[in-house]
């Protein structure tokens, strides 16, 4: 679920020509849309209403550009509505990390809070 926690701004993981617009970034921030999950989980009509932007085409382009800019391995994951609907802003996620140090092998648990 961590890709949904990625910040939309000043992030080399996400790029979009549409996001380079200062006025759009200001509107997104004012509406509380600062993470990838915020952008992808909300429908285009609701985004338009929330950001006071009439152009559904602009918002569709923004979502498409952001998705295309992601590494290929994440594109299908973030577009999967079932996975996206499981993401919650204030939820703690547990990531299991495979750790190999000096011949030892263990599974470490890392809790990530939002």
Would you say residue 109 lies in a domain?
A: no
Q: Is residue 111 part of a domain?
A: no
Buried b vs exposed e over 61-78: b needs ≥16 C-beta within 10 Å? ebbeebbebbeeeeeeeb
Residue 70 — φ and ψ, nearest 5°? -70, 150
Q: Which residue has the higher pLDDT, 101 or 7?
A: 7
- Determine the length of the chain: 114
Q: Is residue 113 part of a domain?
A: no
Cβ within 8 Å of residue 107, ≥6 positions away: 96, 97, 98, 99
- Do the domain assignments include residue 104? no
Whether 72 maps to a domain, the answer reads yes
pLDDT surpassing 80 at residue 37: yes
User: Looking at the domain assignment, is residue 110 inside a domain?
Assistant: no
In-domain check, residue 112: no
- Judged against a pLDDT cut of 70, whether residue 106 lies above it is answered with no
Our count of domains for the chain comes to 1
Neighbours of 47 (CB within 10 A): 23
What domain range includes position 74?
Answer: 2-87
What pLDDT, in 10s, does the model give residues 40-66?
888 899 988 988 888 899 899 998 988
């Amino acid at each position: 679920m961590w890709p949904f926690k990625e910040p939309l701004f000043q992030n080399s993981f996400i790029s979009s020509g549409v996001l380079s617009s200062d006025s759009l970034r200001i509107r997104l921030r004012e509406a509380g849309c600062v993470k990838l999950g915020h952008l992808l989980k909300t429908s285009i009509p609701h985004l338009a209403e929330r950001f006071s932007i009439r152009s559904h085409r602009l918002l569709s382009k923004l979502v498409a550009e952001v998705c295309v800019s992601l590494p290929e391995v994440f594109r299908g994951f973030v577009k999967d509505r079932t996975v996206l609907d499981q993401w919650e802003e204030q939820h703690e996620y547990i990531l299991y990390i495979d750790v190999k140090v000096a011949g030892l092998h263990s599974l470490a648990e890392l809790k990530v809070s939002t």
